[in-house]
Amino acid sequence: MGNGATGFSEQTAAAIQRARRHSLGDLLHRTAVRYPGKTAVVDGDTRWTFAEFDAAVNRCAAALAEQGLAKGDRLALLSHNCRQFAVLVYATARLGVVLVPINFMLNAEEIAFILDHSGATAFVVEDALAATGEKALAQSSAPASVRARIGSSSQAPAGDWADLDAWIGGDGDPGEPDVHIADDDPLRLMYTSGTESRPKGVMLPSRSLISQYVSCVVDGGMEHDDVELHSLPLYHCAQLDCFLSVDVYLGATSIILPSPDPARLLETIERERVTKLFCPPTVWISLLRHPDFDTRDLSSLRKGYYGAAAMPVEVLQELSRRLPEVRLWNFYGQTETSPLATLLGPDEQLSHAGSAGRASLNVETRVVDDAGNEVPPGEVGEIVHRSPHVTLGYYENEEKTAEAFAGGWFHSGDLGVMTADGYLSVVDRKKDMIKTGGENVASREVEEALYLLDGVAEVAVFGVSHPHWIEAVTAVVVPKQGVTLTREQVDAHAKDKLAGYKRPKYVVFADALPKNPSGKILKRELRTEHGEIAAREG
């Protein structure tokens, strides 16, 4: 019988689908065919070729399938950067299992929410994070019956935890699993802090991710002979999907570090002859200030990337002076755009300092008013995008998804200004997001946590300029009448309720908060009043 508009039999249509497949899981295999003996991944003493990496992924996928995982299941991953993280990215993609990377700085309660909301049927935890993972499971009702550890010792994991390295290791290649993955099948569920007290799950399929990879390659000057150092967390779309996955797609070499320690970064650039590096401004600043910067041979470095915040002009000038051969790109976007949306190229860094650049290859960007109408150049409005980069929506959240896609554009929640020639500047965050040290912090989440402290009448949380963190979480607290609160009490409460990077770095006590006639707190006034707090308090 005919099959839809094609007129082909179901058998022929299925064969065509298999021949045309282009999913996330295919990218590594195709690179392994092109460059089987080339170094793909370096992680400590482990060095894998693309052929070895591909075989490890197939062994892991086979082991996951043996445990009963199948297309549509969710696997939560709590780990620092490591080769096993990279293996799971592609092993889950080949099975159609949805990977749920979790921010390792979250506390057990926050992790338990993600396990529950995603309905994770599997949980993989690095040994160093095992205690937190166990606490999260104890507070969770998720059906995470498949459990594995990424071990740092030779001892087998205790209890009902399997050893992930045993699944990855061994000889031979069982081949790719025979699972059809459509372009818009969700393969990734990335939890991002929103304005609500709970994060939202961003669904990303192959189409969104691969379209974004193409934009990164073309506009970001990326090539197969790059040697890139990956030290920022892979649970973020930025390091994972603007850089590591693009390197796999192209056949570039990836050096994986667990964290952006400046001394180790500089030593690794010299030893591995790294050509390409992504860091938020805070890490670039820490490299420039480190005593090893002028003693290490950094002559191999050719490409530098930053994002999460604007780079201060004085730092741009210092980078161009001390690393004159390095070309810089500024990437702007968010998890919902996989994440690249706009970028500023190497020849525009100083002439358009502070700008987020222009829309990338596969993106159309506008600035609109509250009715969705495009505003004239120079006028503030909300930044919206149309692009295959964009998410499928928020997992099990129809209301927020409909709101984000109003009018057929994805609404970023950021406020910006566009020039007549298409350069975008981000001027504020419509949803009061604070970006501190490259991490997103929702002000409302921090506020709700602080409201749980006895004696708090009102609280407003916002970001202020900071020389290292770019933005620092700041709280203005109004105590209840007759109550005296101390900074130590607020700090102790925040430590109990929030991940470290979400806790206020500055706390100010006040008699009242500024409000407009309708009662809305005027955070802009608070930012102005306390904008110099970092300079005053250090």
The CATH number that applies at residue 446 is 3.30.300.30
202-240: per-residue pLDDT in tens? 999 999 999 999 999 999 999 999 999 999 999 999 999
> Does residue 63 lie within any of the structural domains?
yes
Q: Is residue 306 part of a domain?
A: yes
Mean pLDDT, rounded, for 437-452: 84
Q: CA torsion sign, 227 to 231 to 232 to 237?
A: positive
Q: Which domain holds residue 396?
A: 212-429
Confidence at residue 234, expressed as pLDDT on a 0 to 100 scale: 96
Per-position DSSP letters for 138-187, written without gaps between them = HH------EEEEE-SSSSPPSTT-EEHHHHH-SSS----------TTSEE
d(CA 338, CA 353): 24
pLDDT interval class at 313 (50, 70, 90): confident
Average pLDDT over residues 196-201: 76
Average pLDDT, the chain: 92
Q: Given 385, 405, 429, which residue is the final one in a domain?
A: 429
∠ Cα 474 280 426 (to 5°) = 65
* Tens-digit pLDDT profile for residues 57-88: 999 999 999 999 999 999 999 999 999 999 99
Q: Are residues 416 and 492 in the same domain?
A: no
CA distance 99 to 105: 18
* Structural domain contains residue 187: no
297 in a structural domain: yes
pLDDT tops 90 at residue 7: no
DSSP characters over 284-324? HHHHHHSTTTTTS--TT--EEEEESSPPPHHHHHHHHHHST
288 CA to centre of own chain: 24
The burial class, CB within 10 Å (0-12 / 13-18 / 19+), for 142 is: buried
Question: Is 384 domain-assigned?
Answer: yes
The predicted model gives 107-115 an average pLDDT of 95
Respond yes or no on whether the N-terminal peptide bond of residue 233 is cis (omega within 30° of 0): no
**Residue 264: band (very low, low, confident or very high) from pLDDT cuts 50, 70, 90:** very high
Specify if 197 maps to a domain. no
Specify whether 240 is located in the same domain as 342.
yes
Nearest-5° Cα angle at 125, 120 to 131: 110
Considering the domain architecture, whether residues 371 and 398 belong to the same structural domain is answered as yes
| Within-domain flag for 391 | yes
pLDDT given at position 515: 75
Q: What is the pLDDT of residues 117-162, one digit of tens each?
A: 999 999 999 999 999 999 999 999 999 999 999 985 555 566 689 9
Q: Is the pLDDT of residue 2 over 50?
A: no
The verdict on 413 and 447 lying in the same domain is no
Q: Are residues 285 and 226 in the same domain?
A: yes
Mark which of 154, 171, 188 sits at the end of a domain: 171
Residue range 350-367: mean pLDDT, rounded: 95
The whole-number pLDDT of residue 511 equals 93
Among 313, 304, 256, 314, smallest CA distance to 283 is for 304
Please tell me the predicted confidence (pLDDT) of residue 33.
Answer: 98
Indicate if 139 and 151 belong to the same structural domain. yes
> Where do the H-state alpha helices sit in 405-486?
443-451
Q: Which residues are bridge partners to 458 per DSSP?
A: 478
Q: What is the pTM of this model?
A: 0.85
* Same structural domain, 319 and 379: yes
Rounded to whole angstroms, how far apart are CA atoms 401 and 467?
A: 36
Q: Are residues 456 and 421 in the same domain?
A: no
d(CA 398, CA 428): 26
Residue 3's pLDDT is 52
Do the Cβ atoms of 110 and 156 come closer than 8 Å?
no
Instruction: For residue 219, give Cα distances in angstroms to 109, 174, 327, 364, 367.
Output: 40, 37, 13, 14, 21
User: What pLDDT digit, counting tens, does each position of 374-384 carry?
Assistant: 999 999 899 99
Q: Let me know if residue 194 belongs to a domain.
A: no
Note whether 410 and 489 are same-domain residues. no
Percent of the chain with pLDDT over 90: 78
pLDDT at 518: 46
Helices 281-289, 262-272: axis angle to 10 degrees equals 80
Last residue of a domain, one of 429, 452, 470: 429
Look at residue 84 and give its three-state secondary structure: helix
Quick one: average pLDDT of 452-481?
91
CA gap 103, 499 in Å, rounded: 10
Whether 195 has a pLDDT exceeding 50, the answer reads no
Residue 107 has pLDDT above 60, yes or no: yes
Judge whether residue 196 has pLDDT over 80. no
pLDDT of residue 442 exceeding 80: no
304 and 327 inside one domain? yes
Q: Which helix (H) or strand (E) covers residue 470, if one does?
A: strand 470-479
Whole-number Å distance between alpha carbons of 204 and 451: 34
pLDDT score at 233: 94
Place of tokens 């081949």: 175
CATH number at residue 368: 3.40.50.12780
Check whether residue 418 and residue 488 sit in a common domain. no
How many domains, the chain?
3
User: Cα–chain-centroid distance for residue 120?
Assistant: 19
pLDDT band at 193 (very low <50, low <70, confident <90, very high): low
Indicate which CATH number applies to the domain containing 131: 3.40.50.980
Percentage of the chain exceeding pLDDT 70: 95
Same domain, 341 and 460: no
